[in-house]
Homo-oligomer: A and B are copies of this chain.
């Protein structure tokens, strides 16, 4: 089911085939895209999905300082490497396939749907390597990026510390120049790192030959003190096992150790670690500290890392949608086969019970799931398509794509992570008591999905990013671009009697979005303007999804009039406009009125 919708979105809606006209994708066609998707679908179905419960139950554990995982984890990792997806979007010369980002994302969706516990770490490796491509030296790219694209080594991103999660400016991991000649190491300026990193996914394991940590740390000033704020932060490559400039292991183990595993509510297949850097547990090359190589300029660490974060955030949205979709499929299957109760009209207790999909309320729960999951998926793929546009388009195309991506990233991350966990809850509800047991997958999906509103920037952080920064950058240029695209869809909808009413509703919601944005910034008080950033984010998200679902419904009619697939897409849009879009009024209202209810609540008022 997911595959058919992915195909539709890629080919009929986003017209990914047209990318083949660009030199970069000249060797591609629908045929080559399909063969990648087919291979990935097969591996996801055979190597991931059957083991999703296994990796939940058999959590990673520490045996001495080894992280032990069930065999299926290694087998899934190997099978994933074999698909070549780690380098899917990379240049041929890097061993990649030069696939469009949209196709890469679609392929990843199938893995995330099959088992986030087995797949959660994979995209980290890709994002890590991509960052090195963008900001690393030639040698760093060759040694650390290429090895990750090939799946020989896996990567992490080490940002948070026990005392600093959302507030990265307060990290205290230190990086000290590693003696004379530290600037001339072929792998990059060499430092010794000391500190603790928290919540590190895939922070240790035996799935790959080596692990490439990308670590944020501060270089002390001449007075030995750390610079406050984010400007003091730099970025370092800290390999678990040291390597030479040819990318061979030197046989030395770096001073990086697992201080503990976090025991989570979900995502249990991914070893989540507290890492100690340079605590002296393993002396390396005769000195204290974990050896790391700086990436980019000193003080530029956060900027470099954000290159990776933006990508990671879109992937989070994609994952959330995919996990939601797994629940949608499971509950749809259940609703079609489970018999219970009778239609309300013409109840005859002597007649057999009907499949529960016959009940309007069950259909409501299925439609909501479909709209949430396909909406989240659509937005992630739309963002991926913008990435592609930014790679092959004209200069103006590139500018437009990048601007829209900046604006849509916090939505792609937050919207799916909020509503697709709700989709998973509805899947439980469709299954009733059975859904609440560990004999069915839906409870696990609900647990797995709950993380997505937290990692890679919490909901609140996304909201501040959107209202505090993105809608205002370049004088609101990105918002204008978005409006332009929405108006294009509205025009197309306006001429189709089936969609004209939806076009009007979308216009009203968009006007509300614009006026609320303006009202929120009607004073210069940033704290007041963003006091209701989260409801604003929720409203903004619903407008974006309404737009995309309408756009999809129009595309479906164009491609497949009057078949069940087209009806399903149109009905999903209709559901969203009837049941969901009207909620935006409540959300935008508090932002527009500069509501101070939360802002002014005093701490002691809670305490009783």
Contact = CB atoms under 8 A, between A and B. Distances in A.
Contact of A436 (B425, B451, B459, B463): B451
A306 to B, nearest CB: 17
A279 B598 CA distance: 60
Contacts of A532: 360, 364
A119 B398 CA distance: 60
A211 to B, nearest CB: 20
B341 A607 contact: no
Contacts of A446: 265, 450
B534 A370 contact: no
A170 interface: yes
Contact of A603 (B229, B357, B535, B598): B357
Given A343-B527, A361-B460, A450-B428, A436 B367 contact: no
A367 B597 contact: yes
Contacts of A586: 579-580, 582-583, 585-586
Contacts of A137: none
A433 B455 contact: yes
B578 A166 contact: no
Interface in A569-608: 571, 574-575, 578-580, 582-583, 585-586, 589-590, 595, 597-599, 601-608
A565 B340 CA distance: 48
A22 interface: no
B432 A599 contact: no
A581 B195 CA distance: 48
Interface string A308-343: 000000000000000000000000100010011111
B438 A263 contact: yes
A564 B607 contact: yes
A454 B438 contact: no
Contacts of A575: 597-598, 601
A530 interface: yes
A575 to B, nearest CB: 5
Indicate the member of A366, A432, A451, A531 with the most B CB atoms within 10 Å: A432
Q: How many copies of this chain?
A: 2
A433 B198 contact: yes
Contacts of A459: 429
Interface stretch (A84-92, A344-352, A492-500): A344-352
A283 interface: no
Given A450-B425, A463-B361, A606 B167 contact: no
Nearest to A463: B361
Contacts of A367: 597-598, 601, 606
Interface in A415-458: 421, 425, 428-429, 432-433, 435-439, 443, 446-447, 450-451, 453-455, 458
A582 B590 CA distance: 10
A527 B345 contact: yes
Given A370-B606, A526-B345, A361 B1 contact: no
Nearest to A593: B578
A568 interface: yes
A525 interface: yes
B608 A5 contact: yes
A605 to B, nearest CB: 4
Given A578-B597, A607-B1, A344 B454 contact: no
Interface in A512-550: 525-527, 530-535
A135 interface: no
A274 to B, nearest CB: 11
A95 interface: no
B364 A264 contact: no
A312 B199 CA distance: 41
A397 B437 CA distance: 43
The interface centre, meaning the residue of A451, A530, A568 with most chain B CB atoms within 10 A of its CB, is A568
Nearest to A451: B436
A594 to B, nearest CB: 11
A460 B425 CA distance: 14
Interface of A: 1, 4-5, 160, 163-167, 169-170, 198-199, 228-231, 262-266, 332, 336, 339-345, 349-350, 353, 355, 357, 359-364, 366-367, 370, 421, 425, 428-429, 432-433, 435-439, 443, 446-447, 450-451, 453-455, 458-460, 463-464, 468, 525-527, 530-535, 564-565, 567-568, 571, 574-575, 578-580, 582-583, 585-586, 589-590, 595, 597-599, 601-608
Given A263-B437, A366-B601, A425-B450, 15 more contacts: A4-B608, A166-B432, A170-B353, A230-B349, A343-B527, A345-B525, A361-B533, A364-B532, A428-B454, A567-B602, A568-B606, A575-B597, A579-B586, A582-B586, A585-B586
